[in-house]
Structure formats: C-alpha cells, structure tokens
Chains A and B, each alone.
Chain A
Amino acid sequence: MNTKNTGEISILNRLKRGPVPMGLYGALGIIILIAIFINMTLGVNFFSPGNLLNVGRNYSMVAIAAMGQTFVIISGGLDLSVGSVISTSNVIAASYMTSNALIFPVVLLCLLMGAAVGLFNGFLVTKRKVPPFIATLGVSIIINGLRLIWTNGMPRGSIPENLKRFSTGSSLGIFPNLFLVFLVLAVLYSIILGRSGYGRRLYVIGNNPRVASLSGVKTDLEIIKAYVICSTAAALVGILLGGYTGLSDNWVGSGYDLDSIAYAVLGGAAIGGGSGTIAGTVVGGFIMLMITNLVLLASLPLESQLIIRGLVIITALYLSNRKK
C-alpha cells in the first residue's frame, strides 16, 4: 500500500508532461478500486450491464466533444460554444429530418453549420485577435439567441426511426453504436494529432506561435482548422444525442462546454496551449465520468457531485501548473 502511494505521487507529478499521461492510469486504478468498494459496501453495482451501457453512451457523447475541444486547447485557445452548437445541431436535425431519406443531407447540413461556427470562432480569434474565451462565449450567446428566435422557444419536429435505432442500438453484440462512433473518431483524431503534419504544427503553435510563423507555418489558418474540428465534432454530438433521446431540445447541449474542457484538462491538456493528447482526454474524461456516476450510484445528493467534479478539475490544474 505504501509503495503504491509514493508511486502515485511521482506519477501524478508527470501528469502535465508526457504524450502518455501516466498519472491518469493510476488515478483510473484508484477510481476502479473505489467502484469495487462501493459495489461491495453499498450493494449498488457499477459494473451492471445496464449501468455500463448507460455510462458508455453518456461518456461517448461528452468525449467526442472533448476530443474536438482538445484540438482547440492545444492551439492555445478554448471553445465555450460547444454546448450551443450541440443544441443547435440537435434542433436542426429534428426540424428537417422529416423522413429516413433525409437523414444524410441533414446530417451534412448540421456538420456544415458546425464548421461555419468554427470558422467564425477561428476568424475572431486569429484575424480579429479576440481572446478565445470572449469570442466563443459571445458566439455561443448569439447562436443560442438565433435558435430561440427560430424555434420560438418551442423546438418542433421529430427524429426519424433510423437515427433513433442507430443511436440507441448496439453492434458486435455488446458495444453501443455511440461508443463505436467515439472509438472510430478517437483513432482518427489520435492519428491526426500524433502523426500528421497538421498535429505537429498545432503543437508548435500552441507552444510558441512566434516560432511557428517564423518557420513558415500559416498559424492563423491552422488555428482556424482547430476550431472547425471542434465545432464539427460538437455538431455531430448534437445529431447523435437527438437520436438517443428521440427529442428536439433547445438546451440539450448545456454543460457540454465546461465538461469537454474538464475532460481535456484532466487528461493533461494545459490551458494556454502546446500540450494535451487524445489518449489523455479519453482517459481523463473516463475518470471524470466514473466519479460522477459513482456519486449518483452512492445516492449522494447531486450537489455533492458538482463539488467533487470541481475539486477534481482544480486538483488536476494545480498539479499541472506546479509541474511548470
């Protein structure tokens, strides 16, 4: 027990550093131990198929948004418009997908809407030098406003059967489709960030934008791409959520901005740019989710869940800053 503890501390110290945030795996281990402990003492089963399926779906949704967010954070920014894009995409999907045949064109429309928002965010941040926090917050408020005017506060429409079936269904026996979508994107994004020229340039920009531009990197363009990736991922989440809930909801995306940032930061992405990985965000997010879920299962009040999540984020940031 003792050796394990000291091991934990030195590992946590490295949270900020590596492409593989070792500390997270340790933290994950601890949480799983806690889950087992709760299992045995309180008699609720975290590992029940029902709960795992539920957790898996929820996780996949936030994690897709968080992986997009990771690109923006690495570039040195922050995207607070994720939630508003999710909600808007959801409402657009419900409004126009009047039949199964229209699923594909409307999916395309939603993704284009997301890309356009990302383009605008990126434009404000790079060409107009608006701080990312302000730019994306402002854009988020505008999008919410536009959507409410359009829907009169009462979103109409319905989700076609095929989309519902996809979002709620499973493939390969036990894997929820939403989780598989997440998995495919995780692999894709990992390759982009870790192996592509674009990923390398993004890390250079996040670490030292001046060096990037002196090396001939079109920094503005690359940063805009990060915002486009992030918003497009959010738009996809909005569509999938629509299929999952079967509803058109004006506020389905609220909370996703901060959750996606929390996932990425917990996974080792430093606010300010230059570090963070998809693997980190995936594991960091999973830890966050388990904490939330365990609090629920232990029948603690919802408020304590908020407090614990806050504490986890602050601790993660504290550890990564101390490293600097």
Chain B
Amino acid sequence: MAQQMPLLEFRKITKTFPGVKALSDVDMSFRKGEVHALVGENGAGKSTLMKILCGVYQPTAGEVHFNGKAVGIKNPHEAQLMGISIIFQEFSLINHLDVVSNVFLNREPVGFAGFKDKALARKKTLEIFERMGVEMDIDRKISELSVVEQQLVEIAKALSVTAQVLIMDEPSAPLTDKELTKLFEIIRSLKEQGVTIIYISHMLEEIFEIADRVTVLKDGEVTHTADVADMTKDLLVKKMVGRDIDDIYPEPGSPSSDILLDVQNLSSGERISDISFQLRKGEVLGLAGMVGSGRSELVKTLMGIHKKDSGSLQFDGRSIENASMSEAIANGFYYIPSDRKKEGIVAPMNIRENTTIASLGDFLNRGLINRKNETVAADAENKKLKTKTSSLDEQIRNLSGGNQQKVLLARALLTKPKVFCIVEPTRGIDVGAKHEIYKILRDLCEAGSSVIMVSSELPEVIGMSNRILVMNQGKTAGLVDQAEGQATEEQILSLAVGHEYSLHGKETS
C-alpha cells in the first residue's frame, strides 16, 4: 500500500489572491481507496485547495497530478468528468424535485427521440443506492427527506458520475451521532470500492475514527502529514496552531471588576442554548469557537436579531429585553457584522452619510438634518480613526477594506456604544490597518465601554481579549481568563473542538 503510486497529487501548489497568499508550495498525495483527513484552522487554506481540485480556482503555480499525469482542471464540469466530486456543507439539491431527478440533474439519460429516459435514470439511481448499501425511496421529494437522507442523495449524486475522488466538506456538521455512524458505514463501503475520500472536519474525534491519514494545513502551508495511527489528539492540535502571537496587539489595559452586562441562561432556537456569562466594564471578551459553534448567533441574540426563547439580560443593574435591533441600539448596544459588503457599507452613498446612519437622530432639528453639525461630527470621528480619504463626499465603495471598516467603526462610535459587538473585526484587512483597529477597540474599552469580539483567528482572540468565552455546538465550552496567565491556542482549540484538555482542568462537552 505504501509503495503504491498515488491516485492524486498536489505538487507545489501556490495560490495568491490580490494581497494574500492563500496557499504556498502545497505538496500532498492521496492513495486510491484511502480516507484522507484535511484539518486546519479557519482560513488555513483548506477550501481554497479543494476549490482548485474542483476547478473553481486555478493555481497560481504548481501542478495537480491525477493517475500519474499532470492535469489542468479548468472548471467544475471537467473535474466531474474526471471523477472528482465534492459535497459542500450546504446542499445543492432542488427541494421540490424527487430523488431521481436530483441525482441526474442536468445529466438525465436521453432515450427515444431525445426525451428523458426516466426509467433508465431510476434504474441507475437504484443501483447507486444499492452500492452504498442504503435503502431509499427514490420517488420522494427532497423536501420530505431528513438532513442525513439529503446528504445521502448528495453522495449518490457524486457517485453517479463514477467518482474516484469524493471530497466531503464538514459532512458531520448537520448530523446526529446515529446518522454519523451511518455516514461512516457508507464511507467505509466506498473506500472498499476504491474511492478516495478527502474528509474535511474540525471534529478531531471523527478524524481518529474514520481517517487513514491526516494532513494539517496552517496559513496556506502543509505543516504535517501522517498516518492517523501514529498521531495523538494533543499532537494534532499542536500541529494545527503553534505560532507566536505577533506584537501588533496593544496592551490589554486594566478592566474594572464591575459587571456591565450579566447574561443568564440565554437560549435561542437550535442556535444557542443555556449560555451564561458576565461582561465586565472595560474588557474585551473574546468569543472563540469553530464556524457554526454559535458565536455570532450569541451576538445576534444579544442584539435582538434572533428572538431569545429564554434567558435574562441585566445591563448596568437593570433588566433589559433587547427584543429588536433598534431597542438594543437605544440601550447602548452596537453590532458590526463580519460581512462588510453586505451588512456594513451602503455602497452608493458617501462617507458622511455612511458615518451618520446610526446616529442620525443627533443631527436632526425638527426632522431636518443639520448638515453642518453632521459634517463636523463625521469629519471629527473619521479623523480620530485616521480614515484615509480625500473627502467626506467620496463614495464609501471607493475606499480600501481597512478604511471602510474604520468608517463603520466611526458609525458605531457616534452612537457611543456601551456594549460593542464586533465580528471578525479585521477580516480582509492588511496588518497596518489591523493594528489601528485593535487600538480603536482598546481605546473604546479605556473609555469605559466593553467589547464582545467574535473572531476565527486565534492569535487575534488571544492578543485582544481579557477573557475568552469558547463555544462549541451552541453551548459554552469554557471560559479562559487571561489575567490568570496567557491562553494558548491549543487550549482554546481543544475546547472549541470538544476535546478534553487537561490544562486548567476545564470541563468540556
């Protein structure tokens, strides 16, 4: 097995996007019929690598070898013809069509006079499910199926094009334990049939159960490849992190011990359940966890965007509801989401207008905007934050990401927020501007406000937070107080992936 020629190989794959090196000299190989796990932090380059394999992206340099030959995969259709299929986290099924139609979507076998040969499609679909060892009523509509059944249809769809390589991106995320067992059975049976499976997951348990080999990606580079049998969980976690925190973070300041916000037993639908924590005056509370762990859902529930099912909020000694966004803002809360383009800027409007949207009431005189006061305030706030722009009349879409973020911060600061929630504060922003944004957040704390910061970048969480609340599957997985010694990435990551970690003796789920 070890001497066997690899089915698929990446050779020195490099991919750069404007300003970012997403992948750098990635070498990886996959054997026929193995389950190869790919792990790494958010943003390590896993998705980019898989998109290259599927023909969505073209590598800047390097080659993909398939069956011993260098291949250029120009588009997803070519990848499919070669037998490379991917199952994304979000399904691509059409809800109101039945299983057969979905499996053969756009590729229906053609019969007499160019009509679709539904009978043949049915026969083939049944064969695929038989091969998977699954019983499935192929005439049911997708909307009637459970999540795991839908995933099975996705797999069948992938297999219908004689898959040689099957990529599964976080397949376990929507599944229950029982369903996961079923999925593993199918993976094992596919493996016996010689299908190579690339398994992407944050959940270490699963990797140790199903994978033969594991490769760790970090900051776009392969840091480790090994047989799973030779790995331990602690070692794997260490390989996923293990870097120094840069000195771009300002001093942590000295938050008071006064409680500004006391959250008790907060639950909202399936998203978060029974979350309790306290936010101290003048602190940065980091929210860490994997994508889908409920971090931003917690913030949205605090802000009244998601309805809370139960739980109480004590703010500054009084009980508040925050039933709607406008109520939350009136209470002194503010929220900046991660997607600047969709949820931050109003692209066609200018910087002045973008800056004052949330505090417009302060500039109104009998309903009319006092343009002079508005301009003075927008100008002062943007100057304070060092927004680089020629004029306030410039459209915000013409600014760089970092400067747009500063305008959004200026917008927030004009409301004088007491509890300031920000998600991925420095996503897509260069290092220089990052430092300035950290400084702005720290200054806000010095002035007596508190910041709740959601971030997927562990160095950022550790560098900025006074305390770190780690979440896993909508629940609190642990609270790390950096006053008791600096947190490590291992510590946070292992809490986030639900792996027990001995340090500090924290209980984890």
Chain A residues at the B interface, C-beta cutoff of 8 Å:
191, 195-198, 200-201, 203-204, 207-208, 210-218, 274-275
Contacts and interface: CB of A to CB of B under 8 A. Distances in A.
B361 A214 contact: no
B358 A207 contact: no
B369 A217 contact: no
B347 A207 contact: yes
B320 interface: no
Contacts of B367: 196-198
Nearest to B365: A197
A216 B326 contact: yes
B369 A211 contact: no
Contacts of A215: 329, 357-358, 411
A207 B369 contact: no
Contacts, number: 66
Interface of B: 325-326, 328-330, 335, 337, 342-349, 353, 357-358, 360-361, 363-364, 367-369, 371, 411, 415
A12 B344 CA distance: 31
Contact of A214 (B343, B353, B360, B368): B343
- Give the 7 A-B CB pairs with smallest separation, nearest first: A216-B329, A215-B358, A215-B357, A216-B326, A197-B364, A207-B346, A208-B346
B214 to A, nearest CB: 39
A200 B367 CA distance: 11
B411 to A, nearest CB: 7
Given A195-B369, A211-B357, A216 B325 contact: yes
A201 B368 contact: no
A275 B347 CA distance: 12
Given A214-B335, A274-B348, A204 B342 contact: no
Contacts of A203: 349, 353
Nearest to A213: B325
Contacts of B342: 208, 210
Contacts of B345: 208, 211
8 contacts: A197-B363, A207-B347, A207-B348, A208-B342, A210-B343, A211-B345, A211-B346, A217-B326
A204 B361 CA distance: 14
Interface centre among B348, B363, B367 (most CB of A within 10 A): B348
Nearest to B339: A210
A218 B337 CA distance: 18
A200 B326 contact: no
B343 A197 contact: no
Nearest to A270: B348
A215 B333 CA distance: 11
Contacts of B326: 213, 216-218
Nearest to B303: A214
Nearest to A192: B367
Nearest to A212: B357
Contacts of B360: 197, 200-201
Interface centre among B325, B337, B342, B347 (most CB of A within 10 A): B325
Nearest to B357: A215
Contacts of A212: 357
Contacts of A217: 326, 357
